[in-house]
Structure 1
Amino acid sequence: MKKYAYIGCLGFIGVITTEFGVIGILPQIADYYKISIDIAGYLLSAFALIIALTGPFMTLLASGFDRKKIMLTAISIFVLTGLVSSFSPPFWLLMLVRILPAFLQPVYIATALSVAVSGADKKNENGLMSIVFSGVAIAMVTTVPFATYLASLWSWEYSFFVQTIVSVIAFAGIYFILPDMPVKEKKSFGSQVRILGKPTFIVSIAMNLFMIIAWFSTYSYFAEYLNKSKGMDDKRVSLMLLIFGIMGVLSTWISGKMLNRNITGTTAFFLSGTILVPILLHFSGGNTTATLIVVAIWGFLYSPSFLNASTYMISAAPNSLEFANSLATSFGNFGVTIGTTLGGWMIVSKGVVYNPWIGLVFGALAFMMIALRSYLEKGRVLRSKTI
């Protein structure tokens, strides 16, 4: 039902605002706590690492519980995180409350997707999933740049206050609109874990990992990159985030339509941004208009990445939607961790201007994984015909 998909999208806005809301304020946080930008980046990479390490296990453990209660529990922890963070606690406590909701983030995403497609026709599933994932793009066009803008006017604590409000609204939406949804038939752990023995699924995991590393080696330091490489102040950065998000809302909708026709082709099309954007950023130089156009292209090609990665992985294991998606979320966030870490290392050792080239290298690796999966699938088809 579309109504359930939109509820999932609302919660996703709260989730993404919490996870990625720090991207626009990392320089301010680093300055406030007197730490380097790569250490401040741990607020993003540690969050993602917890998801990467625990996501599939938490999803399996939660798979037998009422889906509405699972979603409410997850969002309530996001509310707590934003509230504590908005009071500028010591850095160790800020890091701790940032980590807590990460344990349930993949559970929320997997559950929201499962709820969205429950009872839907197979041909409509990708469209419903794109509605849920549009929460990523909507957050990028509304709450994330708005939080960054408020931080530029006053202080970074206001960014976390925005995150709290968004999560409270999401909690209310789930509580009042979504009905109780007890699990009628719980799949066995063995039947779900079995997908890890499929070569095409393993290759799909690698594609997901490399693609997200490619994007986040620069995107994690979006504000730092535009500050140092393009000479933009915080207000211009918030404007760039707004443009980035507007293009993302459009591209997520388009991607959902394209995925219904060709999953591999759609994934490859948007992945091309990992090759194209670094080149365009290099040649845009210090020209603000040129950079604005590149950021728009960047936002368009980046925004459906999590939707494409999940759909691409699920297509290799269509009977294990929740577990396959939790692995997509897990390895995607592992990619966020590696990409953020590599990006921080590049900033410290060479300078932020070189970060996009990391993306080009890992984007090429992701393309190699798409080619490898296609080769494996063609080989399987040929073997089946000869039997």
Structure 2
Amino acid sequence: MERKKVAYMGCLGLIGVITTEFGVIGILPQLAAHYQISIEVAGLLLSAFAIVIALAGPFMTLFMSGYNRKHMMALSLAVFLFTGIVSALSPPFWLLLLVRMLPAFLQPVYISTAVAAATNGVDKKEEHQMMAIVLGGIGIATVTTVPFATYIADELHGWNYSFVVQAVVSLLALIGILTGLPSMPVPERKTYGKQLKILKKPGFLISSLVVLLMNAAMFTTYSYFADYLGRVNGMEPKMISSMLLLFGVMGVLGNFVAGKALSKSLTMTTAFFLAGLALVAAGIYYSASLSSVGTILLIGIWGFLHTPCFLTGQAYMIATATEASEFANSLSISFGNLGIAIGTAVSGVVIAGYGIHNAPWAMLGFSAFALLMMWVKALPVFDKRRS
């Protein structure tokens, strides 16, 4: 029960983290209009965040791996709180971009620390369930705080109110961590050399590429969710907020299903949700010709398949490096965010050259490539285990 409490508190903090990272998705059109920049340039607020995570995350996690886990989680959330406050003041775009990048240095530290704290000492059967609880914060944020931040910005006619919501969520999460968690010193600090050895494992490197490609697929279209639904499907801002809510609700359901399925078959569960993304990409492309009910149904299916990929990707990658799970976790976050940056950037190029309605084809391409790499990793020469 105590371990579940740690997992739920980790989930609470992750809600604050994800609200800050993805809260800009729903207000990208408003930000572009305010700063008189293109939607692709506004997308840097998401991709730059992801690039910092990808480049700095593993080093930050290695450096802080021996410190008290409660303190590291609290420090991370304090930086996220600071970011929300400054961003809400409507600074110049260059400063907004800079401030957005600051918490990215600590995002992998928070997630890997929270997962390590929740899974420490549990058996293999419970490990994926504890991880699912922590990472469930991603789905919960997409259900509640991310669409709520977009809704408030629309209702009050100011994109900066979205950042106010982000700051409040981070503050509540910080208070929860400080008051709800016991001190959690690290029992044994692993040497840097022991942790770095996992980088020599071919199976781990291929799984890293799978996670990168999977996240790239996820964010080619999702990064421009509001703009896509507005321009291609003709939805009004309030309807887009409702679709974000639906997307998140279905994501929470998908995350619950994935958490149960992972304990039965890690590889098949990962492949199922990834293949689903590939199929739904074609549906998104043709969604303009669907009825309103058909479009809503498609967005629900999309959300159900999208959100669990955070969980399945991390579990798939960590399984190949159990001897240094915390470092492997941070690397999965880094590779995932590098994928987010690549997917957002590639999609931006597609949008600029061929129109936003073609973004789902990039989603399909990345998904297919990731599935191919999963097949390569399953070859006996790379992975003799059957999950």
TM-score by length of 1: 0.97
1:261 aligns with 2:288: no
Q: Following superposition of structure 1 onto structure 2, how do residues 61-72 of structure 1 map, counting pairs within 5 Å?
A: 61-72=63-74
TM superposition shift of 1:186 = 0.4
Letter matched to residue 133 of structure 1 = L
The one-character-per-residue Cα deviations of 1:340-370 (angstroms, maximum 9, x if unpaired) are 1111111111111000000111111100111
1:189 aligns with 2:181: no
TM superposition shift of 1:380 = 4.2
**Residue 11 of structure 2 aligns with which residue?**
9
Moved more, 47-56 or 280-289: 280-289
Whole-angstrom distance in 1 between the partners of 2:347 and 2:285: 16
**Residue 216 of structure 2 aligns with which residue?**
213
Moved more, 71-80 or 312-321: 312-321
Whole-angstrom distance in 2 between the partners of 1:27 and 1:2: 39
TM superposition shift of 1:376 = 3.5
Identity rate, percent: 53
**Residue 52 of structure 1, aligned match among 46, 51, 54:** 54
Contact 2:228 2:356 in 1 (8 A): yes
**Residue 106 of structure 1, aligned match among 96, 105, 108:** 108
- Classify 1:377/1:267 alpha carbon distance in 2 versus 1 (closer, same or farther; 3 Å): farther
Q: Following superposition of structure 1 onto structure 2, how do residues 106-255 of structure 1 map, counting pairs within 5 Å?
A: 106-154=108-156, 155-255=158-258
Moved more, 307-316 or 269-278: 269-278
The one-character-per-residue Cα deviations of 1:114-138 (angstroms, maximum 9, x if unpaired) are 0001121221000000000000000
**Residue 330 of structure 2 aligns with which residue?**
326
Letter matched to residue 321 of structure 2 = A
Letter matched to residue 213 of structure 1 = A
Paired residues, what number?
382
**Residue 345 of structure 1 aligns with which residue?**
349
Contact 1:227 1:237 in 2 (8 A): yes
The one-character-per-residue Cα deviations of 1:14-48 (angstroms, maximum 9, x if unpaired) are 00000000000000000000000000000000000
**Residue 367 of structure 1, aligned match among 368, 371, 380:** 371
Contact 2:115 2:131 in 1 (8 A): yes
Contact 1:200 1:376 in 2 (8 A): no
Letter matched to residue 205 of structure 1 = S
- Classify 1:284/1:74 alpha carbon distance in 2 versus 1 (closer, same or farther; 3 Å): same
- Classify 1:162/1:177 alpha carbon distance in 2 versus 1 (closer, same or farther; 3 Å): same
Contact 1:19 1:44 in 2 (8 A): yes
Letter matched to residue 144 of structure 1 = V
- Local SS of the residue matching 1:245: helix
- Classify 1:285/1:325 alpha carbon distance in 2 versus 1 (closer, same or farther; 3 Å): same
The one-character-per-residue Cα deviations of 1:107-156 (angstroms, maximum 9, x if unpaired) are 00000000001121221000000000000000000000111111111211
Contact 1:229 1:353 in 2 (8 A): yes
Letter matched to residue 14 of structure 2 = F
Letter matched to residue 274 of structure 2 = L
Contact 2:202 2:382 in 1 (8 A): no
Whole-angstrom distance in 1 between the partners of 2:271 and 2:327: 23
TM superposition shift of 1:162 = 0.5
Whole-angstrom distance in 2 between the partners of 1:49 and 1:18: 15
Contact 1:248 1:299 in 2 (8 A): yes
Whole-angstrom distance in 2 between the partners of 1:270 and 1:99: 30
Moved more, 36-45 or 273-282: 273-282
Contact 1:8 1:132 in 2 (8 A): yes
TM superposition shift of 1:318 = 1.3
- Classify 1:306/1:379 alpha carbon distance in 2 versus 1 (closer, same or farther; 3 Å): closer
Displaced runs of 4+ in structure 1, greater than 6 A?
none
Q: What stretches of structure 1 of length at least 5 have no aligned partner?
A: 383-387
TM superposition shift of 1:379 = 6.7
Q: What stretches of structure 2 of length at least 5 have no aligned partner?
A: none
1:336 aligns with 2:312: no
Contact 1:200 1:377 in 2 (8 A): no
Whole-angstrom distance in 2 between the partners of 1:283 and 1:149: 27
Whole-angstrom distance in 1 between the partners of 2:191 and 2:80: 29
TM superposition shift of 1:99 = 0.3
Whole-angstrom distance in 1 between the partners of 2:88 and 2:99: 11
